Structure 1
Amino acid sequence: MSLISEEEEEEEEEEEEEEEEEEEEEEEEEEEEEEEEAEAEEEEEAEEEEEEEEEEEEEEEEEEEEEEEEEDSRYAMCCCVIHPVIGI
């Protein structure tokens, strides 16, 4: 009987070890998934920030163009008023 009980104990220990290993693997997988999700979120945030920056740059460029057009039109008006004979 002692052999049987020893074998049973060994089997139980092996099963416990296997269960522990499986639990550790599951925990590692969960951690990896969480890290991947965090990385994906960071990438999304970075992309959103880039898009916002690009939009801001485009808006600034448009504003600058509008200001230049206004200055050009003012200059043209100014020239016509100053030089009516030349017609510029």
Structure 2
Amino acid sequence: MALIISDECINCDVCEPECPNGAISQGAETYEIDPDKCTECVGHYEEPQCQQVCPVDCIATNPDRVENKDQLMAKFLKLTAQKG
């Protein structure tokens, strides 16, 4: 699954630089995660880095974007191919 940031976000700015895919950006009210770029850090790390650094625990799995590890890895491979 891609991740999603809830409205409990305090805009602390710590998650955005931790995302290896550049999926996190400032939205109108809070930070947002682009589900097309979020791989839950599959391909980069064992755990989603944004969740690890979030001080208010407001980043959860997005129930509207159910993806398994294989699908997340395929997305990672596609994203890294586009960068190269």
Q: TM-score per shorter chain, which class?
A: under 0.3
Select the structure with the greater relative contact order (CA < 8 A; seq sep ≥ 6): 2
The TM-score with structure 1 as length reference comes to 0.19
More strand by share: 2
More helix by share: 1
